[in-house]
Amino acid sequence: MFTLRKVTLLVALSSSCVSPLVFADSNVALDSLVVTGTRAETPLLDLAGNTAKISEEEIDFVRADHITEVINRLPGVMIQRGNGQEHLTSIRSPILNGGAGAGSFLYLEDGVPMRAAGFANVNGLFEANTEQAGGIEVVRGPGSALYGSNAVHGLVNVLSRAPSLDLERSIDVSVGPHDLYSTKATVSDTIGNQAYRFSLNGTTDGGYISESGFDQQKMTFRHDYYGEKDTFKTIFTAANLNQETAGYKVGTDAYKNTAESKINDDPQAYRDAKSVRLSTRWDHELTDNSYFSLTPYVRHTEMNFLMHFLPANPVEKNEHGSAGLLAAYYRDLEGGHKVILGTDVEFTHGELSEIQTEADPVGSPGYGGPGGKYVQGTHYNYDVNATVIAPYIHTEWQLLENTRLTAGTRFEHTRYEYDNKTGDGKFGSTFYRPGDRDDTFNNFSPKLGLTQFLTEDTSAFINLARGNRAPQTTDLYRMRKDTNNTLTADSETIDSIEIGVRKVGAGIQYEATTFYMKKKDYFFRDSSDNNVPDGKTTHYGIELSAFTPIGEQFDLGGSFTYARHQYDFDHEVSSFSGPVLSSTIKDGDDMNTAPRHMANVRLGWNFQVQSRMELEWIHVGRYYTDDGNVHSYDGHDLLNLRANHKVTNNLTIYGRINNLLNTEYAERADYSVAGGGDRYFVGEERGLHVGASYSF
């Protein structure tokens, strides 16, 4: 029978269990518990669908300076680093940018969205304290049936680290190349029926590229209360980023010129961002087999940055504040069945302005000069009030002893109230400011899945799901009136089927999944920077992940992905001189920045108790950098070496060598007609990082 006390115990166990991936003295393998798939603690084998998890121990071992270093270890995931803390995300998708990149992936913090759905940020993960998290869970493919807008191609749930049972204090310092310094500290304890953890970290980076770098600070405070029938989990997080940004390096294969690639061609670029979030989850036990959960939350984010990826460097300022409530009722039924009924409600006020003070540097007709494509002045200045109301139901049915059916659906009502604070209509040849208006979007997201236990530690599953997202406010109100006369955006829809098998427990552990997805009303900007409002795409592939011990001290783990992401429509772009081949799409073309194969393989050596060394191979295959499949990047292979040695019970030293073979590569490559052609964020040379952690 279900009780709230059992949930509390399971959470404590899952937070304190020792990962066999990291520690040599662990010979017990426990079934993984995940929370993202159902919004409640669930054994991984029971899920009808995928949920990959990076454990607390793995986070502490990798000690990532950037989220890419830890999350790209998972199958189907490739986050490309820009400069500093910037990044673009791919989860069962190509790398997406703009409104598509912001709106296709949902970033959560203990199940609460870190940003309002219509006000997402392509760099959203730099707002999460992943450096001191208790785990990171990733769902690949649609998650909209439970979580709503933005969980189209996938979602990332950053879990806060649970408080310790006894007094814990630690400080961690590390140094790296180009004046990279990082400090982390935490204090935690449990006193009676209350527990807390306070974590703080700060990083300063002098920048791999000249005249670049950043300073960033993050903090997380968590307080837990355990009562007879009630538990409360309160989380407060804050983040601040001040970054001097190095933009793209322009020119074919520019990343291969080591000396030239370190010169910042746009030293005035910057990004300043702040965010705060507060939530409290209250679970109240009604009976032995039912409880309800209420999670009120508030958030505020603001950002000011120079848009270095556009000609003439306009400056964007945006901010939004939200208040919301996640409400759910959980009930276990006789026969092993389960029902979850819930409603999410959120109110948001957001503001955005985009102002260009420089003259357009591109002088060709239709692109620059007076009345050209990028004109000086206030491009946009508007406010938006948003309301989201989303009831949902999730059910699980034990059809046979080893067969479980999952079914659910979510209805999401989104309303935007838009107020234009500058002139209505056309501005220059491109920008268009709609007049004041209200927009409403209603979306249904059903899900149906089946799980079949094959043995006690192996299960197979099939999952059908639909993902939806209302347009981003920037899709609707930062419009472009271009050669396509694009002035509309609709809700994006993706339909998915996946089939997989997984094994957990002792010995070899693995998961193999194949998927097929079709998307419509895809709103994006092509390689000529024109809006495309009604794109169609197809996505299919195979994802593999595995871990196996090799003798008593060694182990081998990793992931492999083969995927095709293709346009499913025709789209032609013409200029005064004829068709623009790099932007002209034919049905069946690969989407840009979509490598067909990726791999991450790790050989581990537990050379002493709680001391480990790991050699990591990262493979990124060739991909096209434009929509017309004219230009491409060859891909790359990298080796990284990490080591962690526990000197005493209190002192641990660690180090790593990134890019062990000093390979010339690009973190990100793309092609832009307006941006000058081939562009790259240059990958770093070989670099040594060392640090120490002390507990007292």
The SS3 assignment for 583 reads helix
Phi-psi region of 475 (alpha: psi -120 to 50; beta: other; left: phi over 0): alpha
Residue 532: what pLDDT? Answer: 87
In the block, residue with structure tokens 């968590």: 222
C-alpha distances (whole Å) from 548 to each of 112, 288, 506 are 34, 39, 9
- Mean pLDDT for the chain? 91
Which H or E run includes 516?
A: strand 509-525
What is the arithmetic mean of pLDDT over 559-584?
88
Encode 468-480: b = buried (16+ Cβ within 10 Å), e = exposed: bbbbbbbbbbbbb
Residue 481: what pLDDT? Answer: 66
Does the pLDDT at position 369 exceed 70? no
Q: Hey, how many other C-beta atoms are within 10 angstroms of the C-beta on 179?
A: 11
The SS3 assignment for 485 reads coil
What is the arithmetic mean of pLDDT over 321-327?
98
What is the arithmetic mean of pLDDT over 382-405?
97
Encode 673-682: b = buried (16+ Cβ within 10 Å), e = exposed: bbbebbbbbb
* CB distance 50 to 498 below 8 Å: yes
- Residue 153: what are its φ and ψ, rounded to 5°? -90, -15
Between 463 and 428, the higher pLDDT residue: 463
* CB distance 321 to 300 below 8 Å: yes
What is the arithmetic mean of pLDDT over 59-83?
96
pLDDT digits (tens, 9 = 90+) for 37-60: 888 888 999 999 999 999 999 999
Residue 364: what pLDDT? Answer: 42
Question: Distance (Å, rounded) from C-alpha 20 to C-alpha 507?
Answer: 10
Residues in contact with 357: Cβ distance below 8 Å, sequence separation at least 6, in sequence order: 315, 376
Query: Which CB contacts under 8 angstroms, 24+ apart, belong to 184-188?
Result: 184/131, 184/132, 186/132, 186/161, 188/161, 188/163, 188/164
pLDDT digits (tens, 9 = 90+) for 189-213: 999 999 999 999 999 999 999 999 9
Sign of CA dihedral 392, 396, 399, 402: positive
Q: How many residues does this entry show for the chain?
A: 696
- Residue 475: what are its φ and ψ, rounded to 5°? -65, -35
Report residue 431's pLDDT band, with 50, 70 and 90 as the boundaries: confident
Residue 482: what pLDDT? Answer: 55
Residue 526: what pLDDT? Answer: 85
* CB distance 418 to 437 below 8 Å: yes
Report residue 1's pLDDT band, with 50, 70 and 90 as the boundaries: very low
What is the arithmetic mean of pLDDT over 331-340?
95
Residue 681: what pLDDT? Answer: 94
The SS3 assignment for 117 reads helix
Q: Roughly how many angstroms between the first and final C-alpha of the chain, as a whole number? A: 40
Instruction: Please state which of the ranges 110-124, 576-590, 679-693 shows the lowest mean pLDDT.
Output: 576-590
**Domain segments of the chain: what residues?**
4-695
Question: Distance (Å, rounded) from C-alpha 184 to C-alpha 169?
Answer: 11
The SS3 assignment for 563 reads strand
**∠ CA 557-76-255, rounded to 5°:** 95
Residue 486: what pLDDT? Answer: 54
What is the arithmetic mean of pLDDT over 550-572?
96
What are the counts of helices (DSSP H) followed by strands (DSSP E) for the chain? Answer: 7, 41
What is the arithmetic mean of pLDDT over 427-442?
91
Report residue 574's pLDDT band, with 50, 70 and 90 as the boundaries: confident
Residues in contact with 401: Cβ distance below 8 Å, sequence separation at least 6, in sequence order: none
Q: Hey, how many other C-beta atoms are within 10 angstroms of the C-beta on 428?
A: 18
What is the arithmetic mean of pLDDT over 416-431?
91
Residue 6: what pLDDT? Answer: 39
Assessment of whether the complete model's pTM goes beyond 0.85: yes
Superfamily of domain 4-695: TonB-dependent receptor, beta-barrel domain (2.40.170.20)
Q: DSSP assignment, residue 110?
A: T
What is the arithmetic mean of pLDDT over 362-387?
74
- Residue 270: what are its φ and ψ, rounded to 5°? -155, 165
Residue 7: what pLDDT? Answer: 39
DSSP string covering 224-245 = EEE-SSEEEEEEEEEEEEEEE-
* CB distance 14 to 95 below 8 Å: no
Question: Distance (Å, rounded) from C-alpha 548 to C-alpha 557?
Answer: 6
Question: Distance (Å, rounded) from C-alpha 271 to C-alpha 269?
Answer: 7
Report residue 366's pLDDT band, with 50, 70 and 90 as the boundaries: very low
Q: Which of 368, 610, 476, 373 is nearest to 99 (CA)?
A: 476
* CB distance 389 to 399 below 8 Å: no
342 Cα distance to chain centroid? 24
Residue 480: what pLDDT? Answer: 77
Question: Distance (Å, rounded) from C-alpha 668 to C-alpha 678?
Answer: 11
pLDDT digits (tens, 9 = 90+) for 580-599: 888 999 999 999 999 999 99
What is the arithmetic mean of pLDDT over 295-305?
97
In the block, residue with structure tokens 């979030």: 277
Query: Which of 32-36, 43-47, 152-156, 581-585 holds the top average pLDDT?
Result: 152-156
CB neighbour class for 549 (10 Å; exposed up to 12, middle 13-18, buried from 19): buried
Does the pLDDT at position 167 exceed 80? yes
pLDDT digits (tens, 9 = 90+) for 500-545: 999 998 899 999 999 999 999 999 888 887 888 889 999 999 999 9
What are the start-end ranges of the E strands in 288-357?
290-306, 315-332, 338-356
| Structure-token pair, residue 367 | 């692109």
* CB distance 620 to 595 below 8 Å: yes
Task: List the beta bridge partners of residue 432.
Answer: 426, 479
CB neighbour class for 550 (10 Å; exposed up to 12, middle 13-18, buried from 19): exposed
What is the arithmetic mean of pLDDT over 414-434?
92
Does the pLDDT at position 600 exceed 50? yes
Does the pLDDT at position 641 exceed 50? yes
Residue 41: what pLDDT? Answer: 85
Encode 141-164: b = buried (16+ Cβ within 10 Å), e = exposed: bbbbbbbbbbbbbbbbbbbbbbbb
- Residue 661: what are its φ and ψ, rounded to 5°? -95, 5
Residue 265: what pLDDT? Answer: 84
Q: Which of 51, 63, 211 is nearest to 139 (CA)?
A: 51
Does the pLDDT at position 368 exceed 80? no
Q: DSSP assignment, residue 118?
A: G
Does the pLDDT at position 263 exceed 60? yes
What is the arithmetic mean of pLDDT over 217-232?
97
